[in-house]
Amino acid sequence: MLAPIVGDAPCGPDLEYDEDFLQLQQCAAGRPEEQYGATVIAARAPDWARVEALGTALFARTKDLRVLAELAGAWVRAHGLPGYAQALRLAASLLSRYWDSVHPQLAIDDFSDPMPRVNALNALTCPQGAARFARDCLLIGALTVKEADAALEVRDTTGASDRLLHELRAAFDQGDATVRAAFDALDALADIRAIVRDKLGDEWSIEESAFEGALAHLRKSIGEAQVDASRKQPAPGATADGSPNAVALQAPSADASAWRTMQISSRADVDLGLEQMCRYFEQHEPSHPAPIFLRRAQRLLALNFYEIIRDIAPDSLHQLEMLSGRPADGERRLTEET
């Protein structure tokens, strides 16, 4: 997909108004639910298989970042994090090799306007695009990028988050394709930003997504070593089209514990388990009411007896005070004794 199309026009013509280009955008957009009076037209999800077929065919005719943005959505849906990493690496390679000719071009009829190209790159990283799907992709075991990031936010003294860190580091050390692809995606985003900054200056910037923030947090948490600048070790399944490249990490000092099968040994572990349950329902059964009660249970974990009663049955506080022999202003004293 990086091979030039023709010698004097390596990126081919601009096909923005081509029938296949327009159909690609329609297939990727899907259709929201519509209602006309009593008639309801059901929503239609994007046809990602069709998007991949159309986008791949278009790339044989044109090198266009707008086409790649739609392909990225299809690849991440079909192939997970390696698919997203491949799209970002391909984008970085296109910018590096074909800066003057890749579409959208920087100048049309001698009028310079970088905005269309920057917008096309933002479509690769914005929260509404492929980055949103990538954040919900599995990273390790049953954990998504979003879930792993959330789990590491819970710092405890029992080692639950440390066990997850060790498992992630072990996955790097063992060459796990998905984990390494996730961090190659982060490297590719950094390369894209560096190229844009070098060519256009600091006034033009690429949006940062929650996916990128989550991966940056994970990288910082596991104490990653410097990225191998030469990237001589491609991840399994890498291709010349910009598939994930390897990154070097410090080897863990001890074997990783099985975080997913850890024993519940602390309140923090319970909180992590409840978070996992909530994430499941939010991702797979968003209409189910269970997360309402699970989130409430999470809030109650940090409370003492008096605070729990105040949260779940505030009208019972007066009766509780009567039974306990405490005055109405005795919350602080009862809290200290509970």
Angstrom distance (rounded) from CA 269 to CA 262? 9
The pLDDT value given to residue 24: 94
Angstrom distance (rounded) from CA 98 to CA 6? 13
Question: At a CB cut-off of 8 Å and minimum separation 6, what does 179 contact?
Answer: 139, 140, 168, 171, 172
Q: Which of 82, 50, 89 is nearest to 68 (CA)?
A: 89
Residue 31 DSSP label: B
Residue 260 DSSP label: G
pLDDT digits (tens, 9 = 90+) for 211-261: 888 888 888 877 643 333 334 444 444 454 443 343 333 333 333 344 455
Angstrom distance (rounded) from CA 186 to CA 218? 11
**Distances in whole angstroms, Cα of residue 215 to Cα of each of 96, 132, 163, 219, 227:** 24, 13, 18, 6, 14
Q: What does pTM read for this prediction?
A: 0.65
Angstrom distance (rounded) from CA 338 to CA 39? 59
The pLDDT value given to residue 256: 38
For the four alpha carbons of 284, 67, 241 and 218, in that order, the dihedral sign comes to negative
- In this structure, the number of other CB atoms found within 10 A of the CB of residue 61 comes to 16
Instruction: Decide if 12 contacts 5 (C-beta within 8 A).
Output: yes
Using DSSP, how many helices (H) and how many strands (E) does the chain show? Answer: 15, 6
Q: 3-class SS at 64?
A: strand
The pLDDT value given to residue 332: 45
The pLDDT value given to residue 245: 41
Which residue stretches of the chain have pLDDT < 50? 157-158, 224-238, 240-259, 328, 330-338
The pLDDT value given to residue 65: 96
Cα 129 → chain centroid: 10
The pLDDT value given to residue 274: 82
Angstrom distance (rounded) from CA 200 to CA 213? 24
The pLDDT value given to residue 305: 78
The pLDDT value given to residue 119: 92
Instruction: Decide if 83 contacts 76 (C-beta within 8 A).
Output: yes
Q: What angle, 0 to 180 degrees and rounded to 10, lies between the N-to-C axes of helices 65-79 and 48-59? A: 140
* Token representation of residue 241: 């089209």
Q: 3-class SS at 245?
A: strand
Task: List the beta strands (DSSP E) in the chain.
Answer: 34-36, 39-41, 107-108, 111-112, 138-140, 143-144
The pLDDT value given to residue 160: 56
